[in-house]
Amino acid sequence: MKIMNKLLLSTFSVFILMGSMNPGLLYKSYTAAIVTKVIQDVKHKSSDSDWMETKVATQLKTKDLLSTGKRSVAVLKFLDGSILRVRENTTIMIFADKKDKGLIKNTKLENGKIVFEVNKQSDDDSFIITTPTAVATIRGTSGLVETLDNGSTLLIVETGVVEIESTGENKETKSVEAGTASIINPDGSIVSTESTEEQKKSFQNASKTNERVIQIQTNRGNFKLYYLDSE
């Protein structure tokens, strides 16, 4: 019986330890966000389901994946009003949980590009974006995170401040302020420079989610071609 008790206690302790190391494991299936805009090809997947077509008003729960195809965009709003614009060819996983009247949000960017716009945060809120090379704590209020082909992460802060911590071998921590762009390399180094005009333009284009249309008249009828106005 004593052995049984020890075994139960050990198992329980391991679960607690794992839970404390990875809060995601303890997260309930909490509804964290709602999709407010879909352009072209957007899919989502829960942990216990297959990929499904994402429509406007789709609810996203914690640990859900969302993926956009070519020339596709999804806009989602967290329950605290913060906005995430998911650009083309991007995959994200959402973790979120409620703490008192705040919302703890952690978005894992597997690949691609996202634009964040953080609503006014209370003391109980937090907004984290995790990429393969960085953990970015958004202190407010807008910017862009993109995974680059060489494995690095690009962070452009348009307004507010973002605290970044690299996850590579030479781990660094840095506070990135508005008007600054940072590259977080796989080796853990962080290179921050003033945002270039090209980077600023990239942010502005990525923030646009208006859909434009071209109507083509043919002898077989009229066709409408929808596209993003930033393209």
Partner 1 sequence: MKYLLSFAGFVLLFYQIGFAQFDNFNFSTNPSEVYENTAFTLSVELLQGEQVEQAVLFYRLFGTSEFLPIEMIIKGNTLISHFEAKNVIPPSIECYIKTINVSGIENIFPTLALETMNFIRIDVKKKIDQSGEIIILNPTQDEILTKDEFFLAFSILRLSERTDITKTKVLINDSDFSSLLQISDDLIFIPQNSFIELNTGANFFKILLFDNDGKLVRQYSSSFQIVTREQKEEFEKLKLALNGSVEINLANENLRSGNANYNRANVILNGNYGSIFSTANFYVTNEEKSNIQPQNRFGFQVYNDWFKLNLGDHFPVYPSLILSGKRVRGISSSLMFGFFNIQTTYGEITRKIEGDLLSVIKRDTVVLDPNLIPIDSSKYGQPFGLVRFGTFTRKLFALRPSFGSGENFQLGFTYLHSRDDEKSVEFSAKPKENLVLGTDIFFGFDQKRIQFNFQTAFSLMNKDIASGNITDATLDSLAKNDKLGIDPDILRKLRDIMGSFITVNQHLSPLNPQELPTLAAEGNFSINYFGNYLKGTYLYRGNDYTSFGQNYLRTDIKGFQFLDRISLFENRVFLSVSYERLNDNLQNTKITTTTFNNYEGSLSLYLRRDFPVVNFSYSNYDTKNDIEPNTLDSIKIVNIVNDNIKVINFSSSYDLDFYIKHRLTISYLNSTKKDFTYKDFSSSFNTFNFSAQNIWSSELISFFSTNFSSSKIKNRNFDYFSITLGGRLNLLENKLNNSASISIFTGDLKRNVLDLSSRYRFLNNLSAGLSLRFILNDSNIKNESIINFALRYEI
Contacts with partner 1 by CB under 8 A lie at 30-31, 34, 36, 55-57, 59, 77, 79-81, 98, 101-103, 119-120, 122-123, 139-140, 160-161, 177-179, 194, 210-213, 229
Query: Which residue lies nearer to partner 1 by CB, 102 or 151?
Result: 102
Q: Cα 215 from chain centroid? A: 34
CA distance 74 to 92: 11
Give the nearer residue to partner 1 in terms of CB position, either 3 or 213.
213
By C-beta, is 79 or 128 nearer to partner 1? 79
Indicate the SS3 state at residue 210: coil
Beta bridge mates, 226:
213
Contact between 195 and 202 (Cβ < 8 Å): no
Which of residues 169 and 194 has its CB atom nearest to partner 1 in the complex? 194
Phi, psi of 144 (to 5 degrees): -135, 140
Give the phi and the psi of residue 18 in degrees, each rounded to 5: -60, -40
| Minimum CB distance to partner 1, residue 226 (Å) | 10
Q: Report, in Å, the least distance between residue 179 CB and partner 1.
A: 5
Q: Evaluate whether 95 touches 72 at the Cβ level (below 8 Å).
A: no
Q: How far is the CB of 180 from partner 1 (least distance, A)?
A: 11
**Strand duo 83-86 + 126-130: pairing:** unpaired
Q: 125, 128, 33: which is closest to 79 by C-alpha?
A: 33
Q: Least Å distance between CB 120 and partner 1?
A: 7
Q: Which is nearer to partner 1, 11 or 175 (CB)?
A: 175
Q: How far is the CB of 79 from partner 1 (least distance, A)?
A: 4
